[in-house]
């Protein structure tokens, strides 16, 4: 038999595939159905497991002899199903974002189109005698042909929606043979150009179902609510394959039976199930009713939630309440299995999301495994269910043109567009968690999308329809009235606010992607949500994205690391752009997720008058009071606990606020700054967390540090300092210290106390930071201005000793790189005091070479052994001017290694914003203490900015023995400009003149 090349014909999407239907498993009785465990069904048989597998480089070279019953596959490989064959050692791992990985020649794909041949035996027992046998493929990428016992059965494409075939004419009792040929590419691949690794194979579950010949084929449980939400009904629409007696049983969320109906059905019929005072489903209270449908020997179960989803006066609402969608985008991604996601892994994702206050998931950019939606129903998540449709490469090619060859405009592709939408909606229509249907992603906009939207509205009036790329049709050449909301990607905060204020904009705005969480970021979350909370027309949004898509791989000497685009020799590729998640590939939270947790927190506490202990508490829940929470507070003065109490939680309705007062009672003798921290915890166990888990925290300075005059402190005994030139060095000595200043370099080269050397290289100013992923659009300008190669030019140096206890050194300098004009000019005054402390004051004038600097500060290199770090500032992890929601001011004891944040792609990391003081020392406390009149950014690392800039993977970093200390006047924020808007001006180090002052004090900490 010669294969018909369906894979290059957009008009042929399937052959002999069953009509799309709702997702379910038929069980033998109600109790088994209630368990939801598929293996307990006598009518279910998995085909997951070991298959014989043969990889072929070219589909066109494959005949069909291997599909025959007698064909010997003993020499073939063994491959686990489900799996993606690229992570099993076959073919080419490849990551690309926009560009097609093959020549753009629709509907044709390369002749070098790999094929995977799958074969296995299975048995049909006598208990299935007299029944029809169906085979279900939950996901096969990209298309496949099917044979049973040597007979051709059918064909299907559409990678991430099910394909079901009736194989009753081909199977027999006893042993049977199944053969599947999977192709890597087909014409459908033009519509599957998502930002992802390009995986292939039978990557989701495969199973058999035994069905009565007359059985319930499809079910749509439509929930309807009265206007006052106090009564409702479930309209159970069933579709049978023949005449059958059908029973419908309804139980409430506690398992109590409410109704039981039965009727004869031949084709389509609807059962109406009235419910008084229904318990409503929402993400905070995911109440689910159960509908059991019995027919013949089968029982089907559907979990059903009552909710009303609507837009009223331009505001998105669920069950009559204004809702903010606090979301993330989620790809199917596993560091070892690719897009094959175990059930345990799905649960882990959802629990992590709950722990971090996320209530919404956009299934970017295709329908997820149907079991994932079961879990979303039960855990309580709002889901934007997205069709498996993205033609980004085509979009880029035709953007801004009127060319009708673009897929959304080309009528030859209309059925392919509709097929993907229909199969998703039909599969997922009974899931309470699905609140919005999305027409796909980044595929321009045209009549084919309009047809998808119109079909969806006709099939399901209870949900909304979304599609972001209609925004790229600003003149509305094609009808957009079928879309229920406006949607944007990476809209800037000012643009978002402008939309909210525009009275002519009647639709609500949904940020389907915002705040690109790549590397050290995102740094603009708070700014977005201040605007989103302020305007009812703003629905919220989904951060891009949930997980870094790194692939577990190994260096030549066996060290593990996460690979990204280009690490496997593929072309084209998009580098590390797949590493843009809130969690690492192995699901360890990145710091961006900790930031998101605070901005999505369901309780907001703001200061009315912090000094007097007056605060406002706002309930950000949509359907819950604060009854399941406790709020604790603690008062601290520079690490010392002054008080710790529990606050009486006001009984606030959703979205309501109230004022509370905390009795501060700070002792007058406390000179340090005093901070008040609120910690919001669960006081009841949840399925995703135990009582006591902290869901939010906020900190306020309630009293600043006293000035020296306010403290009335007296100085110590008078000491003197001595200075003398020894060649190019100025040697400055006191009772217990000896410092050296190189007059030719204009900086200190030695700092000692009791003979202990604390400086391993000359101190110098630094303006460069290892570019973060979010600096990708600035780093070229920075490099062109010479920031990465900037050195100090010293114009003049002079010194004097105006008093016996002080030496001052004045330096005039500039910084610049070769071939370009200077970046900045400055004067520095170094003062050395009799206690050994060194104060630097520098006045800086910045040139016009760049809009803003990544940083400005002093870099010190301390010798080996300086591993201990104690600081008073924000912690316990890194923080920046725009990324500091998840940190609190306290005294932290840590190490240089622990200061480092290990990003897969090395970059600037580990800075501590707003540091009051810091000490870096050896384990005996011998080291340097850093203070300043103003708070500064502090970092201690075993890597220089150059080390981090050069390395492309964290495994390439070579740890230095020395400790590199940065004392920064300021560090620019991190933002989200890897894909989002440019860093806001208020977070840029864009000052053209400034003064920085810092004091370096050699210390023996254990003696002080």
**Catalytic residue list:** 442, 513
Report d(CA 388, CA 421) in Å as an integer. Answer: 8
292-to-30, 211, 252, 276, 443 alpha-carbon distances in Å: 7, 16, 12, 19, 40
Question: 617: which strand partners?
Answer: 605, 658
- The answer to whether the peptide bond before residue 834 is cis (omega within 30 degrees of 0) is no
Q: Give the length of the chain.
A: 1008
What interhelical angle do 414-428 and 447-459 show, nearest 10? 30
Q: Which residues contact 217 (CB under 8 A, 6 or more apart)?
A: 19, 21, 239, 240, 241
Q: Number of helices and strands (H, E) in the chain?
A: 13, 57
Asked whether 904 and 953 are in contact (CB, 8 A), the reply is yes
Asked whether 517 and 364 are in contact (CB, 8 A), the reply is no
Report d(CA 449, CA 881) in Å as an integer. Answer: 42
| 272 DSSP 8-state letter | E
The CA-based angle 599-604-607, given to 5 degrees, is: 115
Helix (H, G, I), strand (E, B), or coil: what is residue 882? coil
Nearest alpha-carbon partner for 317 in 75, 655, 46, 659: 655
Rounded to the nearest 5 percent, the helix, strand and coil shares of the chain are 15, 40, 40
Asked whether 540 and 324 are in contact (CB, 8 A), the reply is yes
Report d(CA 642, CA 667) in Å as an integer. Answer: 9
Torsion of CA 437, 440, 444, 445, to 10 degrees: -30
Question: 697: which strand partners?
Answer: 679
How crowded is the C-beta side of 69, counted as CA atoms within 13 Å? 11
Helix (H, G, I), strand (E, B), or coil: what is residue 916? strand
Record the tokens describing residue 769, joined without a space. Answer: 């930071």
Report d(CA 885, CA 597) in Å as an integer. Answer: 9
Q: Which residues contact 79 (CB under 8 A, 6 or more apart)?
A: 50, 51, 52, 53, 85, 88, 118
Q: What is the 3-state secondary structure (H, E, C) of 603-656?
A: EEEEEEEHHHCEEEEEECCCCCCCCCEEEEEEEEECCEEEEEEEECCCCCCCCC
Nearest alpha-carbon partner for 525 in 315, 698, 327: 327
Asked whether 999 and 932 are in contact (CB, 8 A), the reply is yes
* Ramachandran assignment for 602, one of left (phi > 0), alpha (psi -120 to 50 degrees), beta (any other): alpha
H/E segment holding residue 226: none
Sequence-ordered strand ranges (E) for 256-377: 257-276, 289-295, 298-304, 309-312, 315-318, 321-322, 325-329, 360-362
263-to-163, 234, 245, 269 alpha-carbon distances in Å: 30, 16, 6, 9
Report d(CA 157, CA 184) in Å as an integer. Answer: 11
Record the tokens describing residue 76, joined without a space. Answer: 């073939």
The CA-based angle 650-654-657, given to 5 degrees, is: 50
Q: What is the 3-state secondary structure (H, E, C) of 532-590?
A: HHHCCCEEEEEECCCECCCEEEECCCCCEEEECCCCCCCCCCCHHHHCCCCECCCCCEC
């Amino acid at each position: 038999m010669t294969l018909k090349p369906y894979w290059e014909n957009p008009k042929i999407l399937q052959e002999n595939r069953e009509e799309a239907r709702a997702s379910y498993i038929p069980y033998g009785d109600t109790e088994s159905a209630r368990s939801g465990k598929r293996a307990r069904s006598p009518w279910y048989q998995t085909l997951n497991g070991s298959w014989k597998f043969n990889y072929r480089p070219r589909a066109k070279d494959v005949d069909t002899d291997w599909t025959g019953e007698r064909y010997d596959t003993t020499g073939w490989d063994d491959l686990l199903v489900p799996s993606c064959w690229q992570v099993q050692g076959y073919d080419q791992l490849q990551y690309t974002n926009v560009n097609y990985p093959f020549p753009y020649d629709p509907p044709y794909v390369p002749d070098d189109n790999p094929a995977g041949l799958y074969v296995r035996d299975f048995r049909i027992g006598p208990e299935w005698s007299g029944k029809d046998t169906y085979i279900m493929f939950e996901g096969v990428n990209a298309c496949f042909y099917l044979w049973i016992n040597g007979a051709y059965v059918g064909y299907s494409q559409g990678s991430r929606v099910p394909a079901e075939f009736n194989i009753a004419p081909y199977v027999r009792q006893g042993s049977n043979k199944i053969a599947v040929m999977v192709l890597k590419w087909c014409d459908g691949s033009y519509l599957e150009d998502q930002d992802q690794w390009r995986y292939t194979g039978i990557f989701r579950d495969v199973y058999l179902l035994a069905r009565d010949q007359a059985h319930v084929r499809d079910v749509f449980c439509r929930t309807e609510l009265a206007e006052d939400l106090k009564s409702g009904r479930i309209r159970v629409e069933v579709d049978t394959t023949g005449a059958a007696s059908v029973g419908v049983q309804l139980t409430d969320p506690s398992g109590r039976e409410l109704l039981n109906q039965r009727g004869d059905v031949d084709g389509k019929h609807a059962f109406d199930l009235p419910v008084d005072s229904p318990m409503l489903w929402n993400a905070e209270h995911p109440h689910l009713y159960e509908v059991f449908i019995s027919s013949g020997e089968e029982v089907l179960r559907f979990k059903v939630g009552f909710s009303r989803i609507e837009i009223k006066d331009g505001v998105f609402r669920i069950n009559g309440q204004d809702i903010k969608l606090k979301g993330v985008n989620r790809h199917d991604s596993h560091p070892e299995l690719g897009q094959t996601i175990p059930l345990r892994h799905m649960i882990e994702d959802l629990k992590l999301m709950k722990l971090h206050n996320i209530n919404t998931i956009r299934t970017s950019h295709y329908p997820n495994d149907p079991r994932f939606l079961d879990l979303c129903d039960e855990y309580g998540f709002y889901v934007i269910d997205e069709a498996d449709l993205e033609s980004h490469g085509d979009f880029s090619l035709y953007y801004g043109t009127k060319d009708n060859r673009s897929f959304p405009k080309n009528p030859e592709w209309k059925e392919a567009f509709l097929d993907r939408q229909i199969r998703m909606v039909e599969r997922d229509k009974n899931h309470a968690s699905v609140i919005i249907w999305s027409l796909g992603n980044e595929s321009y906009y045209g009549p084919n999308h309009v047809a998808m939207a119109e079909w969806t509205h006709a099939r399901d009036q209870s949900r909304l329809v979304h599609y972001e790329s209609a925004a790229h049709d600003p003149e509305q050449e094609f009808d957009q009235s079928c879309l229920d909301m406006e949607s944007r990607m990476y809209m800037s905060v000012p643009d978002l606010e402008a939309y909210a204020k525009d009275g002519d904009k009647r639709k609500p705005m949904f940020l389907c992607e915002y705040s690109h969480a790549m590397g050290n970021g995102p740094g603009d979350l708070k700014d977005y949500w201040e605007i989103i909370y302020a305007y009812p027309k703003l629905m919220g949004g989904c951060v891009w994205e949930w997980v870094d898509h790194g692939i577990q791989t190994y260096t030549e000497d066996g060290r593990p690391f996460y690979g990204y685009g280009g690490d496997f020799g593929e072309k084209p590729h998009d580098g590390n752009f797949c590493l843009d998640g809130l969690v690492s590939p192995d699901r360890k939270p990145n710091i961006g997720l900790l930031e998101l947790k605070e901005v999505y927190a369901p309780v907001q506490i703001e200061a009315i008058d912090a000094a007097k202990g007056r605060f406002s508490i706002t309930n950000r829940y949509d359907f819950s009071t604060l009854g399941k929470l406790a709020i604790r507070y603690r008062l601290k003065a520079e690490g010392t606990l002054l008080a710790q109490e529990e606050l009486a939680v006001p009984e606030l309705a959703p979205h309501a606020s109230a004022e509370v007062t905390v009795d501060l009672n700070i002792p007058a003798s406390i000179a340090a700054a005093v901070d008040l921290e609120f910690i919001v915890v669960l006081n009841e166990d949840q399925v995703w967390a135990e009582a006591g888990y902290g869901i939010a925290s906020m900190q306020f300075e309630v009293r600043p540090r006293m000035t020296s005059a306010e403290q009335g402190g007296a100085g110590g005994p008078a000491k003197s300092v001595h200075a003398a030139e020894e060649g190019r060095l100025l040697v400055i000595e006191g009772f217990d210290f000896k410092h050296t200043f190189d007059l030719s370099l204009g900086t200190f080269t030695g700092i000692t106390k009791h003979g202990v050397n604390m400086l391993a290289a000359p101190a110098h100013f630094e303006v460069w930071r290892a570019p973060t992923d979010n600096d990708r659009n600035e780093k070229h300008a920075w490099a062109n201005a010479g920031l990465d190669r900037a050195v100090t030019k010293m114009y003049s140096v002079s010194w004097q000793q105006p008093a016996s206890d002080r030496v001052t050194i004045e330096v005039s300098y500039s910084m610049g790189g070769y071939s370009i004009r200077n970046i900045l000019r400055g004067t520095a005054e170094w003062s050395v005091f009799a206690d050994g402390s060194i104060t630097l004051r520098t006045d800086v004038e910045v040139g016009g070479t760049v809009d803003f600097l990544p940083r400005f500060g002093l870099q010190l290199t301390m010798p080996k052994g300086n591993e201990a770090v104690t600081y008073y500032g924000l912690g316990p992890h890194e923080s920046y001017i725009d990324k500091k929601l998840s940190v609190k001011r306290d005294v932290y004891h840590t190490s240089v290694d622990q200061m480092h944040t290990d990003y897969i792609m090395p970059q600037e990391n580990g800075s501590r914003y707003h540091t009051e003081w810091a000490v870096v020392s050896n384990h005996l406390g011998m080291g340097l203490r850093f203070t300043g009149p103003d708070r500064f950014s502090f970092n201690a690392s075993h890597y220089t900015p150059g080390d981090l800039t050069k390395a492309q993977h964290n495994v390439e970093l070579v740890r230095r023995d020395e400790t590199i200390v940065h004392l920064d006047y300021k560090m620019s924020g991190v933002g989200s400009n890897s894909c989002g808007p440019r860093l806001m001006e208020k977070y840029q180090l864009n000052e053209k003149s400034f003064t920085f002052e810092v004091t370096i004090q050699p210390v023996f900490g254990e003696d002080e």
